[in-house]
Amino acid sequence: MPWDHQNDLQANLTDDLANRDTALMRLDALIAPLARTARKAAGLPPDLPAVERIAAPAGEPLF
Amino acid sequence: MRAHQVILGPVLALMLTGVGSYTAAAIAADVAPAAAVATPWQFPPATSQTLDGLMDQAVALGLPEARGAQVWRGTLIATVPAPPGDVAKANIDENDPVFTEGITRQPSADGKLIVTTARGTHLLLKDGSWLLAMTEPAAAASVDASRVTVVPVAPLVVGEPDPQWLERLTREFDPAAVMTLSACMATVAQLPGKPEILLDACHARRAGVLNGDACVQLAAWPWSACEAPICLAAANQETFAAATIAPKPLADAVRAVRVALFAYFRERAGTQPDAARSTAAALAMLDSPLRAWGEAQLALDASVGGLPASAPEGADLALRLQCWTPAQNDAPLVQMGVGGQNVTPSPLLPFTDAELPALLALLEDPRPSRWHDGVLRRTLGDNAWRALGVKWAFDPRLLLARDVNAAWTDAERSASAQAMRAWWTQHGAKPFGATLLSQAASLGDRTLLTIASARPTEKAALCALLARRWQNPPAALPPALLAQALRVGRDQSALTGVIATWPLTGHLRPVLAAWHQIQGDSAPIDALWAELLTSTDAAAPRRLAALVPILMEHPSAAREQQVLTLLRGPLDAPRTWAVLAGLQSWREWDDPDYEWMGGLAGESNPFDNVGIPEPGAEMRFALSLTLIYVALHDQRLLPAVIDRNMRWNMWRFRCGDLALSVNASDDEGEPLDSDAAMPLPADLRVADLAAVLLVGNA
């Protein structure tokens, strides 16, 4: 994980709910493509299990 | 084995509620957990009186007085004017004798002040001054205590024990006492094995903490065990750890405290203006025969200045040994010195093969050497032992059937030297490797493995010998030792072939199943997993959690469905928690029942290199990333049944028998704000925990 993301997330994860959701969205954007690539390499179906989307806090840019 | 269990007082009952589930799990490998019944462990009255008298004497000679002190936890900042002149000297330096882990010191921006930041446990002394990190005195006026909290005596005993420490302790004490003592000691110092914690423990005892006697006894243990110059020469730290965990008698706490107080005043003699007074105080802490030892140490200090920095060309063997100091080098690692200090030796041995007999004659030589292990000034003889260990790549005392953890007294030193010379007289004329093999039958399994891992030339023969011994699985074989054998002998088909025939039953079943999986046979793990899923055994969730990392490493669609089903189960069920606990890095895996796993499978952090996957490594992360992805979207609140708090840089959770620790910071060892446990927000969700798992492990 890039260091700047990690430091950013680390601060957010102990914060209030909106900030935590922002951190979760960033992690989601980071992890989903990696997970798909890894699944393909492992011979698993490429589609990730269905999940409910995280609602973005208003006005919060992803990155 | 000493039994100290009697009746549980109400305060202890409270404490054991906090740590009982963890410790019960931790000690399960070798000793069945006893009923949670214990009283604070206490010294016999005579020992207690001797220790009190020693501390009275030390306080009269200048040791800070901890009697009546308050115990505080957190970050203390002390500010004092910088000495005139060279401000740079104020920077903390690891060679500074007062350097203490937990204390940092730097000049203020304008260079006029020295700012000392101390984290951990502190004492507010009765006179209003402080003992920062239980070590460094600070005047009341210099201290900003706004970030510390006072800790009442009773909660001080609640702490997370260090698992490896615990495992060693289980062989010494009865389990109920271990629960009490380990929790207590771990609060005084997270990492036992450092000599300075013995004085911390003495201060804690004098301040009146519950279980103060136990603190001192536990802190005294590594002192007497590790004074020998070479505890072990081994290929790696894991081997060292496995090879040195062996039954030992309780340390002589009075002797250890005497030595610690001697070391305290001896340090002061080097840093304080009243050197003569401090030197006298140091000697006053010792009685006969330790007094002679102390005088010798001080004489060594005084005379080492006459040695050259390095041995000149053509120097004789004795001078070469005197000047030989440990230096950075890749191999082999030699563990040596008080407090388990890791030092890698000089690549150049200070002797030739032809000089080996002459070296053996110097094993008891009391002349000083330049080797100072941080606490003790080592003699020429100690350095000769170290050189021999580096030459052979293992502790030579293993050949002599001597306890490598015995206190390194004059008598032990002399007996070991005589035995070594006798061994050489008998075997020295033959090639060393052949002699080693001819003696191997008399060596224990652990010693065989230690030597096999350190000596490639004899490895095959030693593993073959072990294979002959292990035609049937030894009934009391510890799982960690089996894992060590599988790791050391992974290229030795004679050994692995025998182990492959062992039945997958009993206490070795998890390690065998994991090993079969690594070999490509998934059936044993799948069978174990299926059995644990339906088991009513209270330990089943913990065992399931231990298998999760292996399933992650060897993904399949069926396994994905099984772990996803568990993960989506009720959050107050330990089986759901098992999946989350199983996702933590093996580096954080703190269950001694399964500590072998990381070693067996290598660096098996499921999230290693998530950002920059190595070619071919992606499949290792397929399941762990999928589970984290699902958990990142799980908005369910963690139920109240889940214990959660933040301590240092870790989030800690506990559900029933399962503990989960996650790094919440990339800066290991640095507390976020305070090292006191802090409650986490009440609205934490599975998603938040998954995020911390990912961020902390990435």
Which residue in B377, B408, B384 sits closest to B298, CA to CA?
B377
How many H-runs (helices) and E-runs (strands) does chain A carry?
Answer: 2, 0
**Confidence at residue A46, expressed as pLDDT on a 0 to 100 scale:** 86
d(CA B296, CA B291): 8
- Written as six digits, the tokens of B621 are 């992360």
What average pLDDT does this structure show over B311-327?
88
d(CA B242, CA B234): 10
Could you give phi then psi for residue A31, rounded to 5 degrees? -85, -40
DSSP string, B510-564: HHHHHHHHHTT--HHHHHHHHHHHH---TTHHHHHHHHHHHHHHS--HHHHHHHH
Q: Which residue has the higher pLDDT, B203 or B32?
A: B203
**Confidence at residue B148, expressed as pLDDT on a 0 to 100 scale:** 62
The enclosing H or E element of B137 equals strand B136-138
- For residue B105, the cross-strand partners are B116
A24:B629 CB<8 A = no
What average pLDDT does this structure show over B677-684?
67
Ranges of chain A whose pLDDT falls below 70: 1-18, 53-63
Query: In what side-by-side order are the strands of the sheet with B342-343?
Result: B232-234, B333-335, B342-343
Taking CA–CA distances from B552, the nearest residue in chain A reads A42
Asked if B681 is an interface residue toward chain A (Cβ–Cβ < 8 A), one would say: yes
Taking CA–CA distances from A20, the nearest residue in chain B reads B688
The percent of residues above 70 in pLDDT, for chain B, comes to 61
∠ Cα B88 B89 B93 (to 5°): 110
- Written as six digits, the tokens of B502 are 């062992």
Please state, rounded to an integer, the average pLDDT across all residues of chain B: 70
Asked if B568 is an interface residue toward chain A (Cβ–Cβ < 8 A), one would say: no
Which residue in B592, B680, B518, B668 sits closest to B163, CA to CA?
B592
Among the listed ranges A37-51, B5-19, B139-153, B248-262, which one has the minimum average pLDDT value? B5-19
Query: What pLDDT band is residue B357 in, cutting at 50, 70 and 90?
Result: very high
User: Does pLDDT of B654 surpass 80?
Assistant: no
3-state secondary structure of B289: coil
B144-194 pLDDT, tens per residue? 776 565 554 433 333 333 444 444 444 433 333 333 344 334 333 333 334
**Confidence at residue B249, expressed as pLDDT on a 0 to 100 scale:** 45
Asked if B154 is an interface residue toward chain A (Cβ–Cβ < 8 A), one would say: no
**Confidence at residue B73, expressed as pLDDT on a 0 to 100 scale:** 64
User: Does pLDDT of B676 surpass 60?
Assistant: no
The percent of residues above 90 in pLDDT, for chain B, comes to 21
| Cα dihedral B114/B89/B96/B262 (nearest 10) | -80
Query: What pLDDT band is residue B225 in, cutting at 50, 70 and 90?
Result: very low
**Confidence at residue B524, expressed as pLDDT on a 0 to 100 scale:** 95
Residues 6+ apart with CB under 8 A from B347: B327, B329
d(CA B1, CA B127): 42
Query: What pLDDT band is residue B519 in, cutting at 50, 70 and 90?
Result: confident
User: Does pLDDT of B471 surpass 90?
Assistant: yes
A-chain residues near B633 (CB < 8 A): 28, 51-54
The count of CB pairs under 8 A between chains A and B is 112
- Written as six digits, the tokens of B547 are 């298998």
- Written as six digits, the tokens of B141 are 């006026």
d(CA B292, CA B257): 16
Q: Is the dihedral of CA B583, B585, B586, B592 positive or negative?
A: negative
CA distance B659 to chain A (A): 20
**Confidence at residue B218, expressed as pLDDT on a 0 to 100 scale:** 66
∠ Cα B225 B392 B485 (to 5°): 75
- The shortest CB-CB distance from A41 to any of B557, B618, B634 is to B618
User: Does pLDDT of B419 surpass 70?
Assistant: yes
d(CA B62, CA B279): 12
d(CA B371, CA B78): 34
> Using an 8 Å Cβ cutoff, are B6 and B34 in contact?
no
What average pLDDT does this structure show over B24-44?
40
Q: Which residue has the higher pLDDT, A61 or B114?
A: B114
- Written as six digits, the tokens of B302 are 């005084």
Q: Which residue has the higher pLDDT, B155 or B269?
A: B269
B-chain residues near A52 (CB < 8 A): 633, 635
**Confidence at residue B341, expressed as pLDDT on a 0 to 100 scale:** 34
User: Does pLDDT of B594 surpass 80?
Assistant: no
What average pLDDT does this structure show over B266-287?
86
What average pLDDT does this structure show over B635-652?
66
**Confidence at residue B285, expressed as pLDDT on a 0 to 100 scale:** 95
Query: What pLDDT band is residue B581 in, cutting at 50, 70 and 90?
Result: confident
d(CA B57, CA B49): 12
Asked if B570 is an interface residue toward chain A (Cβ–Cβ < 8 A), one would say: no
User: Does pLDDT of B473 surpass 90?
Assistant: yes
- Written as six digits, the tokens of B110 are 């304008």
- Written as six digits, the tokens of B482 are 């089996």
**Confidence at residue B131, expressed as pLDDT on a 0 to 100 scale:** 85
Residues 6+ apart with CB under 8 A from B694: A1, A27, A31, B607, B610, B628, B632
**Confidence at residue B316, expressed as pLDDT on a 0 to 100 scale:** 95
What average pLDDT does this structure show over B377-381?
85
**Confidence at residue B558, expressed as pLDDT on a 0 to 100 scale:** 93
Asked if B674 is an interface residue toward chain A (Cβ–Cβ < 8 A), one would say: no
Taking CA–CA distances from A37, the nearest residue in chain B reads B618
d(CA B570, CA B345): 54
Query: What pLDDT band is residue B98 in, cutting at 50, 70 and 90?
Result: very low
**Confidence at residue B59, expressed as pLDDT on a 0 to 100 scale:** 96
